[in-house]
Structure 1
Amino acid sequence: MADTTDADFTATPHRADAARPRSEPIVRTITRDDVRAALSEGLSDFRAAPRFGLFFGAVYALGGIALVILTAYSGMGYLAYPLAAGFALIGPFVAVGLYEVSRRRETGEALAFGPVLGVVFSQSKRELGWMAFVTLFVMIIWMYQVRLLLAIFLGFQSFATLGDFLTVVFTTPEGLMFLVVGNLVGAVLAAALFSLTVVSFPLLLDRDVDFITAMITSVKAVVTNPKPMLGWAAFIVATLVLAIVPFFLGLLIVLPALGHATWRLYRRLVEPAPESAEAA
């Protein structure tokens, strides 16, 4: 497939910009085989256009590193773990550029940073911006509940280092209770956000729908396919944890692989728009 240079910095008009009647997205039933196929196709996208994956992966990794360093220098190193966990929640928004790369590979459009970033920035000012707000809001809730649970279970202790915090968490009954309850609450928030975003971000990039419709469609996709989607969510969590452990560096590979695969899974979960199906 032809790949153009980065000299073309004029974003081509996105097909969602064209005036046309909106159609209600239709959710398909999938199996675990579809999830495996989507992952394989996503890896193929990454191999075909690695510079885009590495770029967006680096942006995500550097953001995580910067947050951890900031907490350390501000004397709140004990927040490094919950902050890293919360940072993983905004992955779907960062991966929008990867969805656009996969979409362009499908349609044969130019693969250059100018058009790709141009579409991402233009969409961020529309319905995609509201979805980014939803994602950020959930992350803020996560951080507030961490502070609340710290106050409930550990009082208002001060921890000089992350090591001191981990010692208290893993060696005291109060610390263990904080760990259990915190992770349970985090799991509920993560599951809710996964259900709201797994399809909504790709759908908003691909179709002319509002963000409420996109979130409803995303939840429908999860409810209609509970087993394969639960397996996909568990795989995402496991790979993100492994990617974050080496100081976020694993995100260079994991984010693009998951991002491209999420787009491919979206294609299997949601019927094409009627005009797209007719064109095909």
Structure 2
Amino acid sequence: MAKTDGHVDKTIGNPLSWAGHVLNAGTHHLGEGARETIGRDTAPIKLRRIETEDLKAALRAGYEDFKAFRSDVIFLCVVYPLAGLVLIRFAMNENLLPLLVPLITGFALLGPVAAVGLYEMSRRREAGGHPTWGAAFKVIESPSAIAILTLGVLFVAIFAAWMLLAWSVYALTLGPEPPVSAMAFINDTLTTGAGWAMIVVGTGIGFVLAATVLVIGVISFPLLLDRHVGVRRAVKASARLAAENPRTVALWGAIVVVGLGAGMATLMVGLVFVLPILGHATWHLYRRAVEPA
């Protein structure tokens, strides 16, 4: 822009100068994002001991947030079950039928990523604001956006690994050829040794991956939203909380699994209620687990 007679000339410069301005701005934001991924907050992350009462309190607070945001979060959370239904419909193809159950169970691994906007809404309400569903997208403008995206990519990679491992287990047991029909697949799964081997091994692998997601994700996303600690320190703090409170964190994981399972059992419809309550509750659990900086 140029100044003329005390007024600002708002005409756009030539394309090269405009492109240079955009490039400089983009470079600045990328640099800021890289620093956030590493972390600028070097203050110690002090954890508290959490008990069953803390889980109950977090769930009550999450429900209160849900009531305060009801129409906004229901609208916001419709995308998650719809995406699940699309993936399930895709897996109903007979060639991909062995991935149907792993897909349904593994889709829950992405829950913490889908709930990031809910954490932001709870954070703003806690600060005295009255956010609407649009506030959930303000995460994109947060200095921690790239750090949150980086952690989200890790969760997506774990989900993809679960799908690949599930197919490998099928290929080594009942496969490698796809089932001839849904009924034949169910019969082979439940009545043959190879089918039971697939169930046992697949369940074991799924449990390990779900436990990994729980340990690294129980407070890491809210921590990244709240403080500039970086991905590595956020994940380490989450893992340390799980190590110091194994029973309570395991109970929280069970609550999440039961809640998401109930939501999925209703053809994903229940997730528009379960996901926001659990998402808001996760923010409040973080507040009870981590001392303020």
TM-score, normalisation: structure 2: 0.82
In the other structure, the counterpart of 1:242 is 262
Q: Distance in 1 between matches of 2:107 and 2:96?
A: 16
Q: Contact 1:203/1:214 (CA < 8 Å) preserved in 2?
A: yes
Residue 21 (structure 1) shift: 4.8
Pick from 255, 259, 262 the counterpart of residue 275 of structure 2: 255
| 2:29 is aligned with 1:26 | no
In the other structure, the counterpart of 1:50 is 70
Q: Contact 2:41/2:229 (CA < 8 Å) preserved in 1?
A: no
Q: Distance in 2 between matches of 1:120 and 1:105?
A: 18
Q: Contact 2:256/2:278 (CA < 8 Å) preserved in 1?
A: yes
In the other structure, the counterpart of 1:64 is 84
Residues 96 and 240 (structure 1), Cα distance of their counterparts in 2 relative to 1, 3 Å cut: same
Amino acid at match of 2:238: S
Residues 119 and 76 (structure 1), Cα distance of their counterparts in 2 relative to 1, 3 Å cut: same
Q: Distance in 1 between matches of 2:166 and 2:52?
A: 34
Q: Contact 1:68/1:77 (CA < 8 Å) preserved in 2?
A: no
Q: Give per-residue Cα distances to partners, 1:170-214, cap 9 Å, x unaligned.
A: 121110111011011100110011100111011011111100000
Residue 123 (structure 1) shift: 5.9
Amino acid at match of 2:266: P
Q: Give per-residue Cα distances to partners, 1:132-168, cap 9 Å, x unaligned.
A: 1110111111111111111111131322444432221
Aligned residues: 257
Residue 28 (structure 1) shift: 0.6
Task: Give the stretch that moved more between structures: 30-39 or 244-253.
Answer: 244-253
Q: Cα RMSD (Å) of the superposition? A: 2.1
Q: Highest relative contact order (Cα 8 Å, sep 6+), 1 or 2?
A: 1
Pick from 104, 108, 128 the counterpart of residue 88 of structure 1: 108
| 2:207 is aligned with 1:187 | yes
- Give identity over the alignment, percent: 38
- Superposed, which structure 2 residues align to 1:62-141 within 5 Å? 62-73=82-93, 75-120=95-140, 122=142, 125-141=145-161
Compare CA radii of gyration and give the structure with the larger one: 2
| 2:218 is aligned with 1:198 | yes
Q: Contact 2:166/2:202 (CA < 8 Å) preserved in 1?
A: yes
Q: Which runs of 5+ in 1 are unaligned?
A: 1-16, 274-280
Amino acid at match of 1:128: I
Residues 123 and 243 (structure 1), Cα distance of their counterparts in 2 relative to 1, 3 Å cut: farther
